[in-house]
Amino acid sequence: MITFDDKIKKNFGFGCMRLPTCDGEIDYTKFSQMIDTFMEAGFNYFDTAHGYHGGKSEIALRECLTKRYDREEYVLVNKLSNFCFESEADIRPFFENQLKWCGVDYFDIYLMHAQDKNNFKKYKECRAYETAFNLKKEGKVKHVGLSFHDTADVLDEILTTYPEIEIVQLQFNYIDYDDASVQGKLNYEVCVKHNKPVIVMEPVRGGSLVNIPPAAQMIFDGLKGGSNASYAIRYAAGFPNIVMTLSGMGNIDMLLDNVGYMKNFKPLNEAEQEAVKEVCKIIKAQNLISCTDCKYCVGGCPQNIPIPTFFACLNSQKSYGGWGSKMYYEIHASGGVKASDCIGCGVCEKICPQHLEIRDLLKEVAAEFEK
Number of CB atoms found within 10 A of residue 256's CB: 14
Do residues 203 and 249 lie in contact, with contact meaning Cβ atoms separated by under 8 Å? no
DSSP state of 11: S
Of 109-117, 142-150, 209-217, 291-299, which part binds ligand SF4 (CB under 6 A)? 291-299
Give the span between the Cα atoms of 323 and 331, in whole angstroms. Answer: 14
Give the footprint of ligand SF4 on residues 332-351 (CB under 6 A). 342-348, 351
Answer for which of 303, 323, 334, 364 binds ligand SF4 (CB under 6 A) is: 303
Contacts of 93 (CB under 8 A, 6+ apart): none
Q: Contacting ligand SF4 (CB under 6 A), which of 301, 313, 314, 365?
A: 301
**Cα–Cα distance for residue pair 150/183, rounded to 1 Å:** 8
List b or e across 107-121, with b for residues whose CB sees 16 or more CB atoms inside 10 angstroms. bbbbbbbbbbbebbe
Stretch in the footprint of ligand SF4 (CB under 6 A) among 49-57, 166-174, 235-243, 352-360:
352-360
Nearer to ligand SF4, 232 or 297 (CB): 297
Helices 228-237 and 270-284: crossing angle, nearest 10°?
110
Q: Which is nearer to ligand SF4, 256 or 347 (CB)?
A: 347
Residue 282 CB, nearest approach to ligand SF4 (Å): 21
Instruction: Please identify, among the stretches 21-29, 82-90, 199-207, 353-361, the one whose residues bind ligand SF4 according to the rule CB under 6 A.
Output: 353-361
Query: Which one of residues 1, 71, 354, 357 is an interface residue with ligand SF4 (CB under 6 A)?
Result: 354
Closest C-alpha to 15, from 227, 326, 254:
254
Residue 102 or residue 301: which is nearer to ligand SF4 going by CB? 301
Does position 302 interact with ligand SF4 (CB under 6 A)? The reply is yes
Which listed range, 58-66, 108-116, 216-224, 286-294, lies at the site for ligand SF4 (CB under 6 A)? 286-294
Answer yes or no whether residue 299 interacts with ligand SF4 by CB under 6 A: no
For ligand SF4, the closer CB: 296 or 323: 296
Instruction: Check residue 259 for interaction with ligand SF4 (CB under 6 A).
Output: no
Distance CA 363, CA 310 (A): 11
Rounded Cα–Cα distance for residues 322 and 132 (Å): 34
Burial class (CB in 10 A: 0-12, 13-18, 19+), 51: middle
* Contact status: 305 vs ligand SF4 (CB under 6 A): yes
Considering beta carbons, is residue 161 or 290 the nearer one to ligand SF4? 290
Q: How far is the CB of 347 from ligand SF4 (least distance, A)?
A: 4
Among 5, 36, 278, 293, binds ligand SF4 (CB under 6 A): 293
Max CA distance (Å), the chain: 65
Query: How many residues lie near ligand SF4 (CB under 6 A)?
Result: 27
Decide: 67 and 53 in contact? Cβ < 8 Å.
no
CA torsion, points 278, 268, 149, 117, in degrees to nearest 10? -100
- Which of 150, 264, 237 has the alpha carbon at shortest distance from 247? 237
* C-beta closer to ligand SF4: residue 109 or 307: 307
- Choice from 257, 326, 352, 368 touching ligand SF4 (CB under 6 A): 352
- Closest to ligand SF4 by CB, 2 vs 343, is 343
Contacts to ligand SF4 by CB under 6 A: 291-297, 301-303, 305, 307-308, 342-348, 351-352, 354, 356, 358-359, 362
